[in-house]
Chain A
């Protein structure tokens, strides 16, 4: 009973960062830099400790009993729908809160150094803590509606943090784009909930567990696909991915925490949580797998040629998220969760590492203006390097086990199509990460200004470009094809502070060893076993024989290594001329398509900024004002011509006119009363 008493207090996990957010919003300025950051980090640390307590409490229960709902109060009760503010602690949610609070604490710690000196330092940590609260509510919620509260809450915080430097037009535009694009997904979430209420009469996850199996296939498919639409938005899958690359306008710790490690994986969480609908549907699973695979591939192609250090990582994140959905789509939910964890470690390390690079090079983000930095920031280079090996899928790092798990699951699910696409994407991953790592840390130094380059029109064009980004309807932020930013370094690059190095090293270390969570050998699949109560009765696709499994793994590694080798051959010496990126020459016209992200984003922007905007303008200026309002005034004018005189509007006699109406109205009333009295 002890364990359940503890689990009743699971709400402390989101409450701790919430307290931090409230304190910092109201008193953050007084607490100041860096104390505000330490407060926020400390509370996240406490939340992590409490999450570990929750883990232990859950482990103390027998396997099948590891699901505990604690209700705080009834949130919304209307008709026969009753939604409680309740928290569900089970293996799936506890895994996620460990991730959010654990990685979250490290990134909070990192941000103390990164944000040091920012004029809105304390507000940053208020938003950061608020984000953690919303994310924790999202995963701990016991019902779809409360998950939706967290879902929208993380969207709000994402909006606030992408636009944190709101003075910059690009940042504010990116924040609006992120929120609006996510709302397209939320539209699906809401309609899915309407369906669920109709079908099950409840939005609780327990009701879903009991009722989803009995639904008709078409209802289950509708619900699953609508929920998946929400996931496409939140997890930036193909179609609604356009906001994530732009979200890199936010401070880098934001990119690491929200746009790599946690928030964007909420979609994967939702698919896992709502798996009974997906399982019942079947078709929806295929859609998830195919969308995931295509996303992995297409985003990978875009990452190949990006000139911006964070943009490569952004498209890489989109691509990696695709792998997670691929896994979920073939029914390998625990592998998807495993991938989420591994990815959180290595991608957070990569983002934080890139943050240190940006920080240490006077805000340089252009890969063509870096090179040779390992000399100046050895620790960061080491952490980044390990993460690079991990994401490229080299054994025995966690990325290898995760990616291998996904591909094997697809293969043994007989989904050869998505397996092949996933394999191809692994080639791209190896290439773009190697390219980025070498361009940043290896090769020649390209960040020192040479007198001849000073003041060329490159800078002018940059500014012009920035000036065009004026509003949300016209802001495709494509860096590809932009002239190389002028080198502006006045000092040598420098390594980050200890609070910035420590998280990178820890995360890289975790990325190295996280494979032990889920090794594909019987008895060592700890994560699958731990998650088993959540995914009751679902059999992950398994290798038919050790040999075939081993062969597949070796194939995947070989493909990844091929990507690495190709990139290594192209970039070994860095860039001889920063203006010429060898990958462009090799890819030709295809490179331009990749660079412009297949022109999808720009196409939408042109559509929204062009015909759509003109139609809306016509509706507002012509239809509403001339037709509808003109009609109203026209009717009035007809009466005016008949003698009452709307014309007098312009003559200043309105008051008499209005009084006349009032008098007339009273006269009418009196007449009516009189008539009635007589009758």
Chain B
């Protein structure tokens, strides 16, 4: 399709940009910035073109490219995009230029910073677009390195601890992923004589009659899920997240909450579901339970945090809970809702982190207690935060609501009582966010808070697009859902054909219309 390698262009534009940044002289940081901005904007341009050209009503992979790489190892360079990855690519491409723009005041080793930032973008895009398990894994691990250096190099006081914790914890998870992937390929080889890491081939084989035995499938499923559960993160594997968020530079937090957390959910949708449908159906109740716990637990703990960034970090745990229950509800509604939340959460949480970053630049603290009355001294900044708050807690008309509503709707159809408990998340979300808002922004400002500078043009430019997008897709989710739902239907059809999924009555709809399923 298409004929031009647009996905390769998307992955490699930031990587090439990173190399070009290396060529700029260290004494001219503005050059590094300019190159970084151009590379990430070009990537955004390609991503926008991809969304434009993307065929709706088609559930399978589009714009696939298949090049030989390590033939003898069965490793190929295979990229493709479908409804699940499309908007993750777009979200990544949107957040990176915004992250660079938000870092405009950061003038410490700009060249290295920009370099790592672009490397990170390329790696993340590679993860979303790779259809070869080894290529996927390489990008998955490669992403950790720039992230490590960004946190360790430009983070706050306890950054080394946080960077290492992030690296070690997630790398530990991915060791299971690698082992399971390799085992899967070997099993496939011993059964068919062909060594390949091509996801599409392996998925076709695992669901077939001659595929994996039940026990093996369960083991491999949990191997993959170990990596994804940590990355999501699922409670109780979440404790790295608040530490990393607190220490990471603002742009790092934006990217972390915006897209890196989505990698786990994406991995489940793409690999766990595609490769191990029986196990996915079998263990869905377990993950629904963990998701519900994440929502309630994350919200309660968020309310008690004293650092504004930690509040948002724990709120992300809760939001990921909504994604997980939507995914494991194994319903069209739920999967639509989860995919939609994956698009919405980067926008709202990104905006929140950006505004907190702006407060930090002004006051060099994120302690909630240190603030108060900011609404009076910085009304524009406050307006940004307020809108992001309500967009995030699921006020209808904003994107958060559409995702939450569909996730819960799907979950309710499949597991009524879990959904009832999960829906308390909409109450708790209001509690922790509005309480923080009250403490930071209302009251009479004193001391430094009274003279806080309001948002300038650049800062508005950084946040407003995110909020505008959230409002737009909240009022008109059709462009997103039209592109996501065909893939969702393919996944559901796959479950129906190959695993004994019980589809609840409320969600029983015709899946035959789903075109292009592999």
Q: Which of A644-671 contact B (CB under 8 A)?
A: 646, 649, 652, 654-655, 657-658, 661-662, 665, 668-669
Q: How many A-B residue pairs have CB under 8 A?
A: 182
Cβ 8 A contact of B438, one of A172, A195, A197, A661: A172
Is the CB–CB distance between B178 and A649 below 8 Å?
no
Cβ 8 A contact of A654, one of B163, B376, B481: B163
Q: Is B239 an interface residue (CB 8 A)?
A: yes
Q: Which of A69-77, A266-274, A275-283, A521-529 contacts B (4 or more CB under 8 A)?
A: A69-77
Q: Which of A621-639 contact B (CB under 8 A)?
A: 621, 624-625, 628-629, 632, 636
Q: Contacts A176-B435, A632-B239, A654-B164 given; indicate if A665 touches B300 (C-beta within 8 A).
A: no
Q: Is B431 an interface residue (CB 8 A)?
A: yes
Q: Is B507 an interface residue (CB 8 A)?
A: yes
A472 CA to B442 CA, complexed, in Å: 13
User: How many Å from the CB of B139 to the closest CB on chain A?
Assistant: 13
User: How many Å from the CB of B447 to the closest CB on chain A?
Assistant: 15
Q: Which of B173-215 contact A (CB under 8 A)?
A: 178, 182, 186, 195
A contact residues around B222 at 8 Å (CB): none
Q: Which of B46-54, B124-132, B401-409 contacts A (4 or more CB under 8 A)?
A: B401-409
Is the CB–CB distance between A201 and B305 below 8 Å?
no
Q: Is A436 an interface residue (CB 8 A)?
A: no
Cβ 8 A contact of A176, one of B161, B238, B438: B438
Q: Is B485 an interface residue (CB 8 A)?
A: yes
Q: Contacts A169-B443, A629-B239 given; indicate if A78 touches B426 (C-beta within 8 A).
A: no
Q: Is A156 an interface residue (CB 8 A)?
A: yes
User: How many Å from the CB of B334 to the closest CB on chain A?
Assistant: 10
Q: Contacts A148-B396, A472-B435, A619-B300 given; indicate if A658 touches B167 (C-beta within 8 A).
A: yes
Q: Is A52 an interface residue (CB 8 A)?
A: no
B contact residues around A81 at 8 Å (CB): 333, 409
Is the CB–CB distance between B195 and A620 below 8 Å?
no
Cβ 8 A contact of A194, one of B412, B427, B444: B412
Q: Contacts A665-B141, A673-B70, A677-B73 given; indicate if A79 touches B336 (C-beta within 8 A).
A: yes
Is the CB–CB distance between B240 and A632 below 8 Å?
yes
B contact residues around A145 at 8 Å (CB): 396, 405
Q: Which of B84-92, B94-102, B471-479 contacts A (4 or more CB under 8 A)?
A: B471-479
Q: Contacts A78-B336, A620-B300, A677-B72 given; indicate if A163 touches B442 (C-beta within 8 A).
A: yes
Q: Which of A36-44, A179-187, A293-301, A437-445 contacts B (4 or more CB under 8 A)?
A: A179-187
B contact residues around A73 at 8 Å (CB): 476
Is the CB–CB distance between A78 and B70 below 8 Å?
no
Cβ 8 A contact of B304, one of A186, A191, A621, A661: A621
Q: Is B62 an interface residue (CB 8 A)?
A: no
User: How many Å from the CB of A617 to the closest CB on chain B?
Assistant: 5
Is the CB–CB distance between A183 and B426 below 8 Å?
yes
Cβ 8 A contact of A166, one of B138, B412, B443, B478: B443
Q: Is B470 an interface residue (CB 8 A)?
A: no
Q: Is B1 an interface residue (CB 8 A)?
A: no
Is the CB–CB distance between B167 and A153 below 8 Å?
no
Is the CB–CB distance between B239 and A180 below 8 Å?
no
B contact residues around A190 at 8 Å (CB): 405, 408, 423, 426
- Smallest CB-CB separation from A673: which chain B residue? B73
Q: Contacts A152-B395, A471-B438, A654-B152 given; indicate if A187 touches B73 (C-beta within 8 A).
A: no
A contact residues around B390 at 8 Å (CB): 156
A contact residues around B167 at 8 Å (CB): 658, 661
B contact residues around A452 at 8 Å (CB): none
- Smallest CB-CB separation from A165: which chain B residue? B442
A contact residues around B23 at 8 Å (CB): none
Is the CB–CB distance between B408 and A149 below 8 Å?
no
Q: Contacts A167-B444, A180-B434, A471-B439 given; indicate if A619 touches B301 (C-beta within 8 A).
A: yes
A655 CA to B435 CA, complexed, in Å: 39
Binary per-residue interface labels of chain A (208-242) against chain B in the complex, 1 for a CB within 8 Å, 0 otherwise: 00000000000000000000000000000000000
Q: Is A554 an interface residue (CB 8 A)?
A: no
A contact residues around B373 at 8 Å (CB): 167
A166 CA to B372 CA, complexed, in Å: 11
Q: Is A538 an interface residue (CB 8 A)?
A: no
A235 CA to B41 CA, complexed, in Å: 50
Is the CB–CB distance between A616 and B304 below 8 Å?
yes
A616 CA to B146 CA, complexed, in Å: 36
Is the CB–CB distance between B434 and A176 below 8 Å?
yes
A197 CA to B504 CA, complexed, in Å: 12
Is the CB–CB distance between A180 and B430 below 8 Å?
yes
Is the CB–CB distance between B408 and A194 below 8 Å?
yes
Is the CB–CB distance between A78 and B481 below 8 Å?
yes
Is the CB–CB distance between B443 and A194 below 8 Å?
no
Is the CB–CB distance between A472 and B160 below 8 Å?
no
Binary per-residue interface labels of chain A (56-95) against chain B in the complex, 1 for a CB within 8 Å, 0 otherwise: 0000000000000000011111111100010000000000
Q: Is A27 an interface residue (CB 8 A)?
A: no
Is the CB–CB distance between B427 and A184 below 8 Å?
yes
Cβ 8 A contact of B423, one of A159, A187, A652, A676: A187
Q: Is B221 an interface residue (CB 8 A)?
A: no
B contact residues around A676 at 8 Å (CB): 73-74, 182, 186, 195
Binary per-residue interface labels of chain A (148-168) against chain B in the complex, 1 for a CB within 8 Å, 0 otherwise: 110011001001000100110
Q: Is B419 an interface residue (CB 8 A)?
A: yes
A617 CA to B306 CA, complexed, in Å: 11
Would you call the interface of chain A mostly helix, strand, loop, or mixed? helix
Q: Is B375 an interface residue (CB 8 A)?
A: yes
User: How many Å from the CB of A194 to the closest CB on chain B?
Assistant: 4
A contact residues around B375 at 8 Å (CB): 166
Most buried by A among B300, B373, B396, B481: B396
Binary per-residue interface labels of chain B (289-328) against chain A in the complex, 1 for a CB within 8 Å, 0 otherwise: 0000000010011011100000000000000000000000
Is the CB–CB distance between A191 and B423 below 8 Å?
yes
User: How many Å from the CB of A155 to the closest CB on chain B?
Assistant: 8
Q: Is A672 an interface residue (CB 8 A)?
A: yes
Is the CB–CB distance between A665 and B171 below 8 Å?
yes
Cβ 8 A contact of A632, one of B169, B195, B396: B169
User: How many Å from the CB of A134 to the closest CB on chain B?
Assistant: 9
Q: Contacts A73-B476, A74-B478 given; indicate if A166 touches B300 (C-beta within 8 A).
A: no
Q: Which of B125-171 contact A (CB under 8 A)?
A: 138, 141, 144-145, 148, 152, 160-161, 163-165, 167-169, 171
Is the CB–CB distance between A628 and B236 below 8 Å?
yes
B contact residues around A624 at 8 Å (CB): 239, 301
- Smallest CB-CB separation from A163: which chain B residue? B442
A187 CA to B239 CA, complexed, in Å: 29
User: How many Å from the CB of B69 to the closest CB on chain A?
Assistant: 11
A contact residues around B160 at 8 Å (CB): 649, 652, 654
Q: Is A198 an interface residue (CB 8 A)?
A: yes
B contact residues around A316 at 8 Å (CB): none
Q: Contacts A81-B333, A190-B408, A632-B240 given; indicate if A76 touches B402 (C-beta within 8 A).
A: yes
- Smallest CB-CB separation from B482: which chain A residue? A77
A175 CA to B439 CA, complexed, in Å: 13
Q: Measuring CB to CB, which residues of chain B are less than 8 angstroms from any residue of chain A?
A: 70, 72-75, 138, 141, 144-145, 148, 152, 160-161, 163-165, 167-169, 171, 178, 182, 186, 195, 236, 238-240, 243, 297, 300-301, 303-305, 331-333, 336-337, 373, 375-376, 390, 395-397, 401-402, 405-406, 408-409, 412-413, 419-420, 423-424, 426-427, 430-431, 434-435, 438-439, 441-444, 475-478, 481, 485, 504-507, 509
Q: Which 5 A-B pairs have the closest CB atoms?
A: A620-B304, A629-B239, A172-B442, A198-B506, A194-B412
Q: Can you report 7 residue pairs joining A to B where beta carbons are below 8 Å apart? A: A76-B402, A77-B481, A79-B485, A156-B390, A172-B442, A187-B426, A632-B240
Q: Measuring CB to CB, which residues of chain A are less than 8 angstroms from any residue of chain B?
A: 73-81, 85, 145, 148-149, 152-153, 156, 159, 163, 166-167, 169, 171-173, 175-176, 179-180, 183-184, 186-187, 190-191, 193-195, 197-198, 201, 471-472, 616-617, 619-621, 624-625, 628-629, 632, 636, 646, 649, 652, 654-655, 657-658, 661-662, 665, 668-669, 672-673, 676-677, 679
Taking A77-B478, A78-B485, A621-B304 as known contacts, 8 extra A-B pairs with beta carbons closer than 8 A to each other, sorted by chain A number, are: A148-B396, A175-B438, A183-B427, A198-B504, A620-B305, A629-B239, A657-B164, A672-B182
